[in-house]
């Protein structure tokens, strides 16, 4: 067997989510807008004992499940120091730098991230994916998990995770 690590990479056409978001930067809050986000996942590591780092089918299934939770939702940042969220009468109000958005609660997902950037979406998906891989005892060969989220054509944000280090 080669001593160099292997990579299991999945990027099926349907690995992604259609969602609305806004980001903040400086003293600016963007308008609420949507994207057809795409995702890719690469598991770097050694032989898990099966001749691969991680099974393609299992990796795709777990990543797809996480992406589906984000699809057809307005994604809001739950830990932002500049976005205030409040709930009232089944609505979530997001307010930042003079802009306000009222969205049906059932159409939102509030994530434990500070901004809804491609990098932080990749981070969220990666953290959730590491948890799912641990639950299913699939981390044996995985040394590094890399998740990418494409917000627009050829504009990717990436995040890296080490499943055996908390």
Please report, for the domain that includes residue 144, its CATH number.
Answer: 3.30.479.10
In a domain, 103, yes or no: yes
CA distance 80 to 82: 5
In a domain, 149, yes or no: yes
In a domain, 77, yes or no: yes
pLDDT of residue 140: 87
In a domain, 62, yes or no: yes
Mean pLDDT value of segment 52-79: 96
pLDDT of residue 48: 82
Per DSSP, 129 falls in state H
In a domain, 1, yes or no: no
Which residue has 């690469």 as its token pair? 42
Whether the pLDDT of residue 74 is over 80: the answer is yes
Mean pLDDT of the chain: 94
Q: What residue numbers bound the domain in which 41 lies?
A: 6-161
Q: What percent of the chain has pLDDT over 90?
A: 88
Q: Residue 60, exposed/middle/buried by CB under 10 A (0-12, 13-18, 19+)?
A: middle
Q: At 73, list the tokens.
A: 């939702």
Number of compact structural domains in the chain = 1
In a domain, 166, yes or no: no
Considering the entire predicted model, what is its pTM?
0.94
Mean pLDDT value of segment 55-73: 97
pLDDT of residue 138: 93
In a domain, 120, yes or no: yes
pLDDT of residue 49: 84
Q: What percent of the chain has pLDDT over 70?
A: 96
In a domain, 106, yes or no: yes
């Amino acid at each position: 067997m080669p001593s160099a690590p292997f990579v299991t990479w999945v990027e099926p056409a349907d690995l992604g989510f259609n969602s609305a978001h806004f980001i903040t930067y400086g003293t600016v809050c963007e308008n609420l807008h949507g994207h057809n986000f795409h995702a890719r996942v690469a598991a770097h590591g050694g032989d898990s004992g099966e001749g691969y780092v991680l099974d393609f089918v299992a990796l795709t299934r777990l990543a797809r499940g996480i992406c589906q939770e984000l699809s057809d939702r307005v994604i809001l940042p739950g830990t932002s120091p500049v976005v205030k969220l409040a709930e009232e009468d089944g609505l979530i109000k997001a307010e930042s730098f003079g802009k306000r958005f009222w969205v049906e609660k059932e159409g939102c997902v509030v994530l434990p991230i500070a901004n809804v950037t491609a990098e932080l979406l990749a981070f969220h998906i990666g953290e959730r994916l590491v948890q799912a891989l641990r639950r299913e005892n699939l981390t044996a060969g995985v040394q590094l998990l890399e998740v990418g989220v494409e917000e627009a054509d050829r504009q990717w944000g990436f995040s890296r995770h080490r499943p055996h280090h908390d």
